[in-house]
Structure 1
Amino acid sequence: MSLTPEQPEAVASHPYAIADPKRVPAQRYYSADFARLEKEKLWPHVWQVACRLEDIPEVGDYIEYEINDQSILVVRESEPGPGAGPEAASASGIKAYYNACRHRATALGNGSGTFHGRQIVCPYHGWRWDLNGESTYVFASERGFTPACLDKENLRLREVQVGTWGGMVFVNMDPQAPPLEQYLDGIAKVLDPIAFDRMRVRWWRHVILPCNWKMAQEAFLEAYHIMQAHPSLSMGAADDDYNLEATVGSFECFEEGHAHSRPPTSTEAPVKGMSRADYFIQFNNALYFGTDAFTTEREIFVQQGLLERDIPDEEFIPKFFEALYAHAQGAGIPLPPPVTDTQGYGHIFPNLTFLPGYGTNIIYRSRPNGDDPESCVFEVWAVQIPGADAGEPERPELEGPVPVEEWPQIFREDFRNVIGQQKGVRGAGIDDLIMSERYEAMIINNHRTIDRYLGRD
């Protein structure tokens, strides 16, 4: 079910609930009480991305996912069955377990690695489980434990719901939560044509930001800030010289909290006085140097080849895509057909956001840093559809935490702003944050969905 930002909602009774969707109480970004509510009623009950499929390519591979004080191990339990397609093949045989030995709660894995011999072995007393979570060995079992202590079902590792979409592994700690397919139904249908499942990680970095997880995420849930915050993208244009309507279309928001942007209807360049071709070229260059993610060497190579030819402005953008697809075909890059009903600029509730390029994507994930409501772990994946000569994907390595000043320019600009926002919400002169139902609809939808979770008994 899709929603419009203007639809009213019953006012929730928990602290700092939103009564007016255009106004977000400032305390939601720093209140320890509000963070405790999220810890109790949001994170244990919502689907969230734990890792990418590349993180666990071989049987026995695992990666740890932490949210608040919970640690979850995502494990490649078995090879896919015969005849499974690429996504189904990757999805089958994945398990997720609470990261605690059933004996005395020792963590069974840290970070990432491989459980050799297809056995999960406790480093403390040597208890073992197979990758399916079944107990296979208890040291000195007959001499040291009563039969009741050795009940096989009781000794099984405690499972967490798991599902996959778009090359990513999702987990949900609530055994009663609906399956991932149902949770993602509306937004997945919109975003599937972009072919996230074909993309592989180019780089993966994180930063610890001194701000609330929502504050960090919201920087990437609207394009309203581009004119002021990113002069390289607005080409220095300001006020009426920057046409925001040519940058972002209308937002479609879903009841589950997901949202995406439809293509803009304006055919003009975002910057007055520039042709669409000139803006397109400079925009690609700015994102190449400013992110090393949205636009990559592949697109710059194609663009540079066209710039060496005398192509009229009105033909340049169609020629670019014609050349890009020709290059992709020759390099064995399975680009999907152009998508017409979405920009691919979207959000999966509660904390995953996408910014699409040309067979590329920037993926953002924000989550609390422990129990501190004013600190978060912010991660960025740069992903791209590889060519035929790419070979098997390697397990990505998480870089960082990378200091703010060492990120590409556009990320630095965003990070500095959210740090300034977090400082500002503490000010005595701020009661709430004012939101635009037109330009900040994804933020509004995210907050009211959080309230639905926090209002549950």
Structure 2
Amino acid sequence: MADSDPNMGRDTLEGGRARSEAISWQELLAQDSRPAPAILTEESYEYRGSEPLDASRYTSEDFARLEREKMWPHVWQFAAREEDIPEAGDYTVFENAGRSWLISRQEDGSVKAMHNVCLHRGRKLRTEDGTADKFTCPFHGFAWNKDGSFDGMPCSWDFKHLSAEKMSLPEAEVGRWAGYIFLREEKGGPSLEEYLAPLPEFFKRWRHEECTTVIWVAKEVPANWKVTAEAFMEAWHTVVTHPQLLPFTGDANSAYWIYGDNVNVNHVPFGIMSPHVDPDGKTQQWIVDEFCKYNGRSADNYDAAGDPFAVSVPEGMTARAALGAAMRAGYSAQTGYDHDDATDAELLDGLVYNVFPNFAPWGGFMPNIVYRWRPGKTPDTCLMEVRIIARVKKGDPMPHGVPMKLLTKDQKWTDAPELGVLGHVFEQDMDNLPYVQDGLHASKTGKINLGDYQEIRIRQFHQTLDKYLGAGAAE
């Protein structure tokens, strides 16, 4: 029946692991209008223990120093997208954890990542993105070519002790995948593909290399970078923090899976009513109407008649199937690509992947969110970035990505209207995160307790972090 409740409750224990009494993610996908690929249905979970975490991981400068020294130089860091620097000579400045880099496109299309520091007196060579065949220091005029080789300096007679070979800018290792550019400061260790596995295999289906950045907003957050990132590693805070999403968000139907040390995912279904909502009198049409009304609230004078997703749910069809069909047709028309075999989940749901330590791309065929979190100058601040990438229409040239809009500390996410309803959601998170940071400083126990299933991604994250920092890092 069209109006039947898909969240038929039952008590399920699998392998000793408690689960929500709601319909599971896999059962939900089995009802979708297209067969789901194995990457979305094969569970990857393992119990990782239930021990508390030490609050000082988020507040201590000593712990932040260990991260800078032992973790950040040895991990693959998402530094840029290909469309940020499309032409030879284009460069972008990437800064993280006390380092500054020039990500520069070379004549042969390759990319180099060089330290953005003059080897004379230490001035940063560039502070803004741009195009240049040569990087000349504004202080004394020492100059480097775009490949990092030394070009020359004024008064060379006074620097006979410096050879051109010694003066090449130090380089980082560069890796490229699916339109993303990564760097690793210290060479050695797993290749980028090995580090990202199984993401490259999963994302073959969603082809992020065919996308460009259409929205990019960043804001300083008064909370540790891990506190902020972890707010986006679970959906179960929706019931309290984002109650307006419950009519069409299966928060308790979500799946939480981990892959090895570096990759994890939270699959969050949309187009389904939260098990926390009283289903009495709620129809499948009500779910669609609530979904469309909410997502249209960011537009002036929202008109359902002009919304291609404001569909009528036929008798015998679920809201998910109706929304999936509308999005299947809509995205096919917008992009010129055939989406006939795309599952409802790939068109509608939050397929939120994380790669250690701070890269979080969404999967699926819709415009995808890409998160990145970077530590601030103290453990109590960070920079949170939200990119949205969208598929370029088939046959069209790849356009330059939009530049990053940096909100001031006092601005709100809603001051970036291009984010739409996401800005309101992020502001609700901001109502928590500064007080989480304050609470961690004030904690009497100094301990953080995690759920075994819904917060498994957070536990995996910290266990991987400890592998870089060494035994006893949590104490």
Task: Please state which band the TM-score falls in when normalised by the shorter chain.
Answer: 0.7 to 0.9
TM alignment of 1:276-355, pairs within 5 A: 276-287=284-295, 289=297, 301-304=307-310, 306-307=311-312, 311-312=314-315, 314=317, 317-334=320-337, 337-338=341-342, 344-355=351-362
* Residue of structure 1 in register with 2:207 after alignment: 195
State the AA in 2 paired with 1:47. W
TM alignment of 1:61-210, pairs within 5 A: 61-80=90-109, 93-115=110-132, 118-141=133-156, 143-146=157-160, 148-150=161-163, 152-210=164-222
Residue range with higher mean Cα deviation, 38-47 or 196-205: 196-205
Deviations 1:279-310 (A, max 9, x none): 244235434547x9xxx999983213x34xx7
CA contact (8 A) 1:101 1:107 kept: yes
Alpha-carbon distance in 2 for matches of 1:191, 1:289? 31
* Residue of structure 1 in register with 2:25 after alignment: none
* Residue of structure 2 in register with 1:433 after alignment: 448
Alpha-carbon distance in 1 for matches of 2:174, 2:72? 15
Are 1:6 and 2:35 an aligned pair?
A: no
CA contact (8 A) 2:272 2:287 kept: no
* Residue of structure 2 in register with 1:397 after alignment: 403
* Residue of structure 1 in register with 2:58 after alignment: 29
Q: Rate the CA distance shift 1:285–1:45 in 2: closer, same or farther, 3 A.
A: farther
Alpha-carbon distance in 1 for matches of 2:305, 2:105? 35
Q: Rate the CA distance shift 1:330–1:353 in 2: closer, same or farther, 3 A.
A: closer
CA contact (8 A) 1:334 1:385 kept: no
Are 1:446 and 2:461 an aligned pair?
A: yes
Which SS does the other structure have where 1:111 is aligned? Answer: coil
Residue range with higher mean Cα deviation, 411-420 or 184-193: 184-193
Alpha-carbon distance in 2 for matches of 1:110, 1:5? 44
Q: Rate the CA distance shift 1:283–1:447 in 2: closer, same or farther, 3 A.
A: farther
* Residue of structure 2 in register with 1:44 after alignment: 73
TM-score of the superposed pair, with normalisation by structure 1: 0.80
Deviations 1:377-398 (A, max 9, x none): 1111122223359754234221
Which SS does the other structure have where 1:217 is aligned? Answer: helix
Deviations 1:252-278 (A, max 9, x none): 2123331013577x9876444134453
Alpha-carbon distance in 1 for matches of 2:305, 2:363? 13
* Residue of structure 2 in register with 1:211 after alignment: 223
- Count of aligned positions: 412
Equivalent in 375, 399, 417 of residue 368 of structure 1: 375
Are 1:378 and 2:381 an aligned pair?
A: no
Residue range with higher mean Cα deviation, 372-381 or 255-264: 255-264
* Residue of structure 1 in register with 2:3 after alignment: none
Q: Which runs of 5+ in 2 are unaligned?
A: 1-42, 416-422
Alpha-carbon distance in 2 for matches of 1:181, 1:438? 27
CA contact (8 A) 1:60 1:75 kept: yes
CA contact (8 A) 2:220 2:407 kept: yes
Which SS does the other structure have where 2:175 is aligned? Answer: strand
Q: Rate the CA distance shift 1:434–1:262 in 2: closer, same or farther, 3 A.
A: same
Deviations 1:32-73 (A, max 9, x none): 111111111111111111122221111111111111221111
CA contact (8 A) 2:178 2:209 kept: yes
Equivalent in 398, 406, 430 of residue 414 of structure 2: 406
CA RMSD of aligned residues (A): 3.3
* Residue of structure 1 in register with 2:87 after alignment: 58
State the AA in 1 paired with 2:324. F
TM alignment of 1:200-279, pairs within 5 A: 200-235=212-247, 244-246=251-253, 248-249=254-255, 251-261=256-266, 270=275, 271-273=277-279, 274-279=282-287
% identical aligned pairs? 27
Alpha-carbon distance in 2 for matches of 1:254, 1:409? 31
Alpha-carbon distance in 2 for matches of 1:45, 1:320? 43
CA contact (8 A) 1:220 1:353 kept: no
Alpha-carbon distance in 2 for matches of 1:355, 1:125? 45
Q: Which runs of 5+ in 1 are unaligned?
A: 9-20, 81-92, 237-241
TM-score of the superposed pair, with normalisation by structure 2: 0.77
State the AA in 2 paired with 1:351. N
Q: Rate the CA distance shift 1:254–1:323 in 2: closer, same or farther, 3 A.
A: closer
Which SS does the other structure have where 1:426 is aligned? Answer: helix
CA contact (8 A) 1:78 1:94 kept: no
* Residue of structure 2 in register with 1:422 after alignment: 437
Residue range with higher mean Cα deviation, 420-429 or 67-76: 420-429
Alpha-carbon distance in 2 for matches of 1:165, 1:272? 44
Give the structure with the larger helix fraction.
Answer: 1
Which SS does the other structure have where 1:154 is aligned? Answer: coil
Q: Rate the CA distance shift 1:232–1:300 in 2: closer, same or farther, 3 A.
A: farther
Alpha-carbon distance in 2 for matches of 1:333, 1:433? 48
Alpha-carbon distance in 1 for matches of 2:144, 2:330? 49
Which SS does the other structure have where 1:397 is aligned? Answer: coil
Alpha-carbon distance in 1 for matches of 2:236, 2:78? 27
Deviation of 1:333 after TM superposition, in Å, equals 3.7
* Residue of structure 2 in register with 1:88 after alignment: none
Which SS does the other structure have where 2:431 is aligned? Answer: helix
